[in-house]
Structure 1
């Protein structure tokens, strides 16, 4: 096996403990650290599996030191989300991600890190960086898979998945249960708290990029900062959860920064017409576009074509 694994546990409040799965090369300890973050109704398993599949084992085999974060109450973080959970995306942005950042800095003080996210995780990561710009010099690059902040797409999938299920049905379930048990209902891989659902639902509805807790204006802050170089992957078969046009809008509102947007599709030379999940989980991804990730992390920005 070209990598080794361990679990790290990080207290972030009086009762909440974050889990980070550390996956690194079997013999090397000098690889650049990488923080990986999942999206909503998900956990860190989007990046790895027991059989060694996924982006994190792939990067570890290339020498990178990966830290896959389970946000508060998800995956192996404790306690699991329940009806009395009061945390939301404000806590993700202001507490969880900064805590993970500090832990990696403590373990690897001399190595700039890279940040990688899937879906809404990219919104969380960018929000943290523009809110705390002192962190930016320590983050060498960003790679986002299907990350969008607001849903402008208008199609049947958006009507069913976003308007009906996410906006209406999920709120009704939360009023009954106190939280969204997405895994039990087979809507996703993990649960969402009432607050995390409410806050992300608001932002996705083309609302201002403003924190509902304290009014912090992330869009305004983004215009005053420069994010690390960012690679934005979009999938052609992703009609609403990461529509290419919405990914482009997210890049634009994140302020001026070195960036590239790359469409994963047969028409752009890839093996498949990927969707919102398969762009990370398809077995062919490691041969198709995961090498682009390592090129970006290595600073080979011109090696990735802007094709959309």
Structure 2
């Protein structure tokens, strides 16, 4: 029987990070760290009724630790006009704190990583900053992860060029944060800083940190990262087309990487988009199954 409980990771000041621990008490296997993307939280990976990727992985014997980055999901306090942090803090503080917390809970760092969308960019950025940590990771699975957008599909021009690059900066500065949940642009909000930093990278600008000038691309291009399976949805036209994912792969080191497209044309049960690649019930026998096989094949 799959169980869930919330774990709280204390940070400096009033900040508390939330991890959702999803597991089968009869089979407490290797740990998996799951990280959401922009305007999201960890619920992209699970429901409290045990639907989604994390509960599925738990049925295979893995312990899943689903992250809520600072201010998102059940992490406290929620994002407001007082929130001054951005993705630099996610890379340098949130991710390390959660990984260290998991090690204290289980005795070792998570052997497998899973990310959705921008979460994969943050994880690779973390490895650029902390290259010694890649020795703890056996394999990764990234769902719809890209850094910069190269495609010119009409829906991309609307969702990225019009909304993310033009309207979002205006509205976020006016309110003091990007109220994406109220605007129905996502399931969670973003700070002004996190939106700005992710927007700049998505515009095909250099993979450089706006806080301290750290050059992620220069560091990571010579690294051998853990094996990464990149999952693309055939209906993901705006946010992560194969061209976008392949460009991210090119700047993500020299390790083993593979991209697989999931849709009816490829013999799968559904034409997956950026969200239902993780929420569709059909995913269990398509990309979820392949992800487990990827982990098994690279666990040695």
Normalised by the length of structure 1, the TM-score is 0.95
RMSD: 1.2
Tell me if structure 1 keeps the 8 A contact 2:231–2:260: yes
Tell me if structure 2 keeps the 8 A contact 1:32–1:111: no
For 1:168, the equivalent position in structure 2 comes to 166
- Stretches of structure 2 lacking an aligned partner (at least 5 in a row): none
User: Aligned pair in 2 of structure 1 residues 97, 158: CA closer, same or farther (>3 Å)?
Assistant: same
Secondary structure, in 3 states, of the residue corresponding to 2:114?
Answer: strand
Secondary structure, in 3 states, of the residue corresponding to 2:142?
Answer: strand
- For the pair 1:56 / 2:54, whether they are aligned, the reply is yes
1:171 Cα deviation from its structure 2 partner: 0.9
CA distance in 2, matches of 1:273, 1:42: 22
For 1:16, the equivalent position in structure 2 comes to 15
User: Aligned pair in 2 of structure 1 residues 110, 51: CA closer, same or farther (>3 Å)?
Assistant: closer
1:100 Cα deviation from its structure 2 partner: 1.1
User: Aligned pair in 2 of structure 1 residues 40, 94: CA closer, same or farther (>3 Å)?
Assistant: same
Tell me if structure 2 keeps the 8 A contact 1:36–1:68: yes
1:300 Cα deviation from its structure 2 partner: 5.4
1:110 Cα deviation from its structure 2 partner: 4.3
Question: Match for 2:252 among 251, 254, 257?
Answer: 254
Moved over 3 A (4+): none
For 1:204, the equivalent position in structure 2 comes to 202
For 1:119, the equivalent position in structure 2 comes to 117
1:12 Cα deviation from its structure 2 partner: 2.3
CA distance in 1, matches of 2:183, 2:109: 41
Tell me if structure 1 keeps the 8 A contact 2:102–2:109: no
Tell me if structure 1 keeps the 8 A contact 2:209–2:215: yes
1:109 Cα deviation from its structure 2 partner: 2.3
CA distance in 1, matches of 2:233, 2:242: 7
What is the aligned length?
299
User: Aligned pair in 2 of structure 1 residues 190, 110: CA closer, same or farther (>3 Å)?
Assistant: closer
Residue by residue, what CA displacement relative to the aligned partner does 1:161-199 show, whole Å, maximum 9, x if unpaired? 001111111111112100011111111100000000000
CA distance in 2, matches of 1:180, 1:156: 24
Normalised by the length of structure 2, the TM-score is 0.97
For 1:304, the equivalent position in structure 2 comes to none
For 2:146, the equivalent position in structure 1 comes to 148
- Stretches of structure 1 lacking an aligned partner (at least 5 in a row): 302-308
